[in-house]
Structure 1
Amino acid sequence: MKIWKWFRNAAVLMITACLLTACAAPAQTGDTADDSGMRTVETDKGPVQIPKDPKKIVSDYYLGEFLAVDVKPVIASPYALDNPFLAGMTEGIEPMNITSAETNLEMIAEAQPDLIVTITEADYEKYSKIAPTVYIQDGKRTDEELFRYIADLVNKSDEADAYIAEFNKKAEEAKPMVQEVVGDKTVSIVEIWPQEIYSMGSHFARGGSILYDMWDLKAPEAVQKGMVDGDETYKVVSLEALPDYTGDFIFYGVLNGTDPSFVEGSKIWQNLDAVKEGRTMSYEQVGWMHRDPITLNAQLQSFIDFFQGIRDRQE
């Protein structure tokens, strides 16, 4: 099973921020307003009229982006609600009824939303018959661009700017410490799935944009060329090839329900320098697979704590 297909299928079954600079230009929705209480925004399906001040929002995927600017949808995907980094922020949000497509549509219609934001192109026409719908193509925008775009839909551009500025400040302040700890060593991200190992770079969440893009850290050569400098999102690697894809520091996750012993119990894993010298950090895959602003902020703090711990041991 390919990870990308699983990721997209999971979002569909649920019915369905590489944050750069605090001074980046606001997301351009190309919107125009009139006196009817509506405005026209540019979307990945062309111009769409949406309320100037939407109150009841449904999102089948994007959730952390709304919560980061203190906007709480009335209905959201269980897939997004399961993100542990959003715990404590989702009270009152109803999970979509994903028993079937029909029950999902019935639930949304009964809620009488005034805006639907979707990642699922196949459901766009159905959603559009219920309320103004904005389709956002997955992967078309950077994390920052996506955050700014969604914030603009709900008139929260200033709040998004402030969130991004604080995030970037925190990352920049930690950068010298992190680079001092890492030096000329390499960092790597791997994930353990049932009988499969995935290597990832800067394009597939898991904090890669922080490590490689914001902090300018280097990956092992096998990862750097295709998954950091190139456009490759991930690669399935064998246990035997793992030494080529793991660096001097290893961040790794385990898919929920997976027995990782075929990796962690192997001599290959146990003989890696990063493992022997305690330069590994495990993460909770169910949360780290997201890349909304709240998740990115939590990942950033986890990295800072990890590298600070390494530095403290070295002193």
Structure 2
Amino acid sequence: MRALKKIKKIGIALAAVFSIAYMSGCASRPADESAAEETKVVQTDKGEVEIPAHPQRIVSDYYLGEFLAVDTKPVIASPYALDNPYLADQVEGIEPMNITSAETAQEMIAAAEPDLIVTITEADYEKYSKIAPTVYIEDGKRSDEQLFRYIAQLVGKEKEADEYLRKFHEKVEKTKPEVQQAVGDKTVSIVEVWPQQIYSMGSHFARGGTILYDLWGLKAPETVQKEMVDGDEAYQVVSLEALPDYTGDYILYGVLSDTDPDFVTDSAIWNNLPAVQAKRVLPYRQVAFMHRDPISLNGQLDELYAFLTGKEVQE
């Protein structure tokens, strides 16, 4: 009996030692490791998805500027987003996604061992979901601001998004009276040239339209205003002959990469447009104006302000 009691005491003592060692081990785990293991459930366009509370290795096949605006750098991003000149000074170290095929992109993403994938491509959702928690964001479902806040919420950076938007709206309100005074009752239009096609755009398809029409309250030519600003159409393909109906007193003019625009710019119709004759045409960089993330919108606002007022924005 005395021996049995001694064995029990030794067992209790060892258990206490192991317990202390275990607790000590838990306490000594790196804070970032513990944080990385925390999760949260978010509502997505594919239902509820459990993601890391503080994702460390993010892959995004489209939404780059939204992440960078809240000081979050993905490990892999779309090469088209990486080519955006407005983001050029913030993308060092981000790998361009291999988009040779869906298979090569998937292989590259899997090799990077991400803990969160954010995609605009519904067709790839199931494949990506097998690699890591994946959030599908339907294009055009949210306003620019709603989209930014949503992405900031994914990475726990809501306060940073609020501050970015506060400063941006201050700039909008500061520049709006000067822009409206400079433009007056003149109209502003957006035209983009693709191979043998001409696109007219309003306020729903990037290219600075949100700034011009929604935030600054400028007017488009009647047809554009009715269908692509007040209406729901994002863009229309128009003929060269119809350009006078879709262009206003000012023209924002873009050309898709590797496209020859001579069929437009060498035409008598183009060169007789009032905006062209008055030199009120802003040739914009399509790769920059196709994006509508917060950083790009900031840069676009600066360019549009300079174009319309002849001055630079004073910070």
TM-score by length of 1: 0.85
Give secondary structure in 2 for the equivalent of 1:241. Answer: helix
State the shift of 1:265 in Å: 1.5
Amino acid paired to 1:99: T
Supply the distance in 2 between the matched residues of 1:249 and 1:35 (Cα, whole angstroms): 51
Shift of 1:36: 6.0
Match of 1:75 in 2: 76
Q: Are the aligned partners of 1:279 and 1:310 in contact in 2 as well (CA < 8 Å)?
A: no
- The unaligned stretches of length 5 or more in structure 2 are 1-34
Counterpart for residue 4 of structure 1 = none
User: 1:71-150 maps to which residues of 2 (within 5 A)?
Assistant: 71-150=72-151
Deviations 1:124-174 (A, max 9, x none): 111111111111111110000000000011111111111111111111111
Distance 2:137 2:311 in 1: 40
Identify the range of structure 1 (141-150 vs 299-308) with the bigger mean alpha-carbon deviation: 299-308
- Which letter maps to 1:57? I
Asked if the contact 1:181–1:310 (Cα under 8 Å) also holds between the matched residues in 2, the reply is no
TM-score, reference length from structure 2: 0.85
- State how far apart, in whole Å, the 1-side matches of 2:162 and 2:311 are: 32
Shift in Å, 1:287: 1.5
Letter in 2 for 1:213: D
Does the CA contact (< 8 Å) of 2:80 and 2:287 recur in 1?
A: no
Aligned partners of 2:191 and 2:247 also within 8 Å? yes
| Equivalent in the alignment of 1:180 | 181
Letter in 2 for 1:128: S
| Contact 1:54–1:154 (Cα < 8 Å) also in 2 | yes
What is the CA–CA distance in structure 1 between the aligned matches of 2:288 and 2:36, rounded to whole Å? 42
Q: 1: CA distance between counterparts of 2:302 and 2:109?
A: 36
Q: How does 1:248-263 map to 2 (within 5 A)?
A: 248-263=249-264
Shift of 1:308: 2.0
Higher mean alpha-carbon deviation, 134-143 vs 98-107, is at 98-107
Look up the equivalent residue of 2:99 and give its one-letter code.
Answer: I
Tell me the percent identity: 71
User: Residue 87 of structure 1 aligns to a residue in which SS?
Assistant: helix
Matching residue of 1:22: none
Offset at 1:96? 1.3
Q: Distance in 2 between matches of 1:35 and 1:164?
A: 28
Structure having the higher Rg: 2
Counterpart amino acid of 1:84? P
1:61 equivalent to 2:62? Answer yes
The answer to whether the 8 Å contact 2:36/2:53 transfers is no
Deviation by residue 1:42-72 (Cα, 9 ceiling, x = unmatched): 1111111111111110111110100111100
Match in the other structure for 1:12 = none
Q: Is the 2:36–2:55 Cα contact (8 Å) retained in structure 1?
A: no
Checking the alignment, whether the CA contact within 8 Å between 1:191 and 1:254 is kept in structure 2 is yes
- Native 8 Å contact 1:115 1:132 kept in 2: yes
In the other structure, the counterpart of 1:160 is: 161
3-state SS of paired residue (2:189): strand
CA displacement at 1:310 relative to structure 2 = 7.9
Measure the CA separation in 2 of the matches of 1:79 and 1:92: 16
Q: Report if the CA contact (8 A) 2:179-2:308 is conserved.
A: yes
The code of the aligned residue for 2:159 comes to D
Q: Quote the offset at 1:109 in angstroms.
A: 1.4
Amino acid at match of 1:72: K
Count of aligned pairs between the two proteins: 278
* Aligned-partner Cα distance in 2 for 1:98–1:36: 31
Aligned to 1:49: 50
| 1:169 corresponds to | 170
Decide whether the 8 Å contact of 2:305 with 2:311 is kept in 1.
no
CA RMSD of aligned residues (A): 1.6
State the alpha-carbon separation in 1 of the partners of residues 61 and 181 from structure 2.
Answer: 41
Higher relative contact order (Cα pairs below 8 Å, separated by 6+ residues): 1
Which of the two has greater helix per residue? 2
Q: Distance in 2 between matches of 1:68 and 1:37?
A: 24
2-structure distance, mates of 1:99, 1:92:
21
Q: How does 1:283-302 map to 2 (within 5 A)?
A: 283-302=284-303
Q: Does 1:266 align with 2:249?
A: no
The answer to whether the 8 Å contact 1:192/1:254 transfers is yes
Does the alignment pair 1:242 with 2:243? Answer: yes
Moved over 4 A (4+): none
1:228-281 per-residue CA deviation (whole Å, 9 max, x = no partner) reads: 000011111111111111001111101111121221121111111111111111
